[in-house]
């Protein structure tokens, strides 16, 4: 029997502790075995495929298979409880149709389903709607990268103690959840929002003000240029489809340490950040194999995978610029889909 998990069902169990643990496990599992930093988990993650839907640009189908072995997830019953080991065979099918938000009846640009298979028989066991899952796991990858590549350079407690200014460049689906999640996880003093269509940044600012606790003390600013948004930023999350650079080195603060989560840009991942930033930065990726195929022409060498840094603790220096070049990877989808499935398999609770 193939179980179907709808978008509503998935949305009900997506929580940050569940997703963050699954994503961190995936980032570690894909790191090649090294006797200096042993890890019991592992992954087989072939390069994903891209199929253009016709000759017009901006319409692509990606297939993303992965097997992740012996990795840990939080218990869905109680996130504080002991972690459980899992192995998962999955394949995500995801489309990126960048014109969708401008349709008469707008749709998300990114829409996905995850297929889960039985490890013993290879039979398809579940189909899970994966659109929100994709947004959450992508934001989670930025959160995990920020924790290890930015905060940990200032010490083990920095993510709880340090006040930061965050810039969001691009307030689409990704930008919106990045903004909310960064405020939920870290001590955000100032949140600067920039979007090409100004009204979307204003709408997001309004929604966040409703949601954020007054006592959070976060000041939200709607900015009229990426430069204005980034000037005082410690962390920049950029998630657009821009083929031209939106942020330059001169937009960043100097000698104080800046971390950039470069999430977007579609066909060429690194086009939204200017080459002069890459040339001054340490660049980290989620996965070398995808980078080899998808980051051809990247204007800087890759320092490491994020998972390597989680394992070996070689954090950037305090004043450095770090970039997490997020491509998204199938192992993240496999681990998060498994965590969601576990949570949905719990017996229904009565309301009393």
Ligand X SMILES: NC(=O)C1=CN([C@@H]2O[C@H](COP(=O)(O)OP(=O)(O)OC[C@H]3O[C@@H](n4cnc5c(N)ncnc54)[C@H](OP(=O)(O)O)[C@@H]3O)[C@@H](O)[C@H]2O)C=CC1
Ligand Y SMILES: O=C(O)C1=NCCCC1
Contact region with ligand X (CB under 6 A), list: 22-30, 214-222, 261-269, 340-348: 261-269
Judged by beta carbon, residue 134 or residue 303, the one nearer ligand X is 134
Site string for ligand Y, 291-330 (x = CB under 6 A): -------------------------------------x--
Binder of ligand X out of 20, 174, 271, 342 (CB under 6 A): 174
Q: What is the DSSP letter of 175?
A: H
142 binds ligand X (CB under 6 A): no
Residue of 189, 173, 138 lying closest to 324 (CA atoms): 138
Site string for ligand Y, 108-127 (x = CB under 6 A): --x-----------------
325 binds ligand X (CB under 6 A): no
265 binds ligand X (CB under 6 A): yes
42 binds ligand X (CB under 6 A): no
93: enclosing H helix or E strand: strand 84-97
41 binds ligand X (CB under 6 A): no
Rg (CA), the chain: 19
Judged by beta carbon, residue 27 or residue 258, the one nearer ligand Y is 27
Judged by beta carbon, residue 76 or residue 130, the one nearer ligand Y is 130
Distance CA 270, CA 290 (A): 13
Distance CA 254, CA 18 (A): 36
Q: How far is CA 159 from CA 79, 80, 144, 162, in A?
A: 20, 19, 11, 6
User: Which region holds residue 34: left if phi is over 0, alpha if psi is between -120 and 50, else beta?
Assistant: beta
86 binds ligand X (CB under 6 A): no
Dmax (CA) for the chain in angstroms is 59
Selection from ligand Y, ligand X, none that 278 binds (CB < 5 to 8 A by kind) is: none
What's the min distance (Å) between Cβ of 269 and ligand Y?
Answer: 8
Contact yes or no for 192/166 (Cβ under 8 A):
yes
Residue of 228, 38, 12, 274 lying closest to 129 (CA atoms): 12
Q: Could you tell me which residues come within 8 angstroms of residue 31 by beta carbon, excluding any fewer than 6 positions away?
A: 37, 39, 305, 307, 308, 311
265 binds ligand Y (CB under 6 A): no
263 binds ligand X (CB under 6 A): yes
Question: What SS3 class is residue 308?
Answer: helix
What's the min distance (Å) between Cβ of 32 and ligand X?
Answer: 21
Distance CA 267, CA 50 (A): 9
Site string for ligand Y, 69-98 (x = CB under 6 A): -------------------------x-x--
Binder of ligand Y out of 25, 45, 131, 134 (CB under 6 A): 134
Size of the site for ligand Y (CB under 6 A): 6
Which residues from 196-215 bind ligand X, rule CB under 6 A?
A: 196-197, 200
12: enclosing H helix or E strand: helix 7-13
Q: List residues binding ligand Y (CB under 6 A).
A: 62, 94, 96, 110, 134, 328
Q: List residues binding ligand X (CB under 6 A).
A: 96, 101, 109-110, 134, 138, 170-175, 195-197, 200, 239-242, 246, 263-266, 326-328
């Amino acid at each position: 029997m193939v179980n179907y998990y709808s978008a509503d069902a998935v949305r009900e169990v997506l929580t940050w502790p569940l997703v963050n643990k699954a994503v961190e496990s995936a980032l570690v599992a894909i790191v090649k075995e090294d006797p200096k930093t042993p890890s019991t988990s592992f992954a087989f993650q072939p390069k994903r495929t891209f199929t253009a839907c016709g000759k017009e640009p901006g319409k692509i189908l990606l297939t993303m298979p992965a097997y992740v072995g012996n990795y840990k997830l939080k218990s869905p019953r109680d996130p504080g409880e002991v972690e459980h080991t899992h192995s998962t065979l999955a394949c995500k099918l995801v489309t990126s149709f960048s014109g969708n938000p401008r349709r008469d009846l707008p749709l998300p640009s990114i829409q996905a389903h995850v297929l889960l298979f039985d490890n013993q028989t290879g039979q398809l066991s579940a189909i899970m709607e994966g659109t929100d899952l994709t947004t959450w796991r992508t934001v989670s990858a930025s959160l995990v990268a920020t924790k290890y590549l930015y905060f940990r350079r200032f010490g083990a407690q920095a993510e709880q103690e340090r006040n930061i200014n965050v810039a969001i460049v691009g307030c689409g689906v990704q930008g919106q959840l990045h903004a909310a999640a960064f405020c939920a996880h870290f001590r955000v003093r100032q949140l600067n929002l920039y979007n090409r269509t100004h009204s979307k940044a204003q709408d997001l600012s309004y929604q966040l003000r409703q949601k954020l606790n007054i006592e959070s003390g976060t000041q939200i600013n709607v900015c009229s240029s990426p430069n204005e948004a980034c000037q005082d930023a410690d962390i920049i999350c950029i998630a657009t489809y821009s083929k031209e650079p939106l942020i330059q080195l001169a937009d960043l603060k100097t000698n104080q340490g800046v971390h950039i989560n470069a999430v977007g840009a579609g066909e060429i991942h690194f086009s939204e950040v200017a080459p002069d930033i890459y040339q001054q930065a340490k660049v980290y990726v989620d996965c070398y194999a995808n980078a080899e195929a998808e980051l051809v022409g990247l204007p800087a060498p890759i320092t490491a995978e994020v998972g390597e840094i989680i394992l070996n603790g070689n954090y950037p220096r305090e004043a450095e610029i770090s970039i997490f070049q997020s491509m998204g990877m199938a192992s993240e989808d496999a681990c998060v889909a498994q965590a969601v499935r576990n949570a949905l398999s719990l017996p229904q609770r009565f309301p009393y």
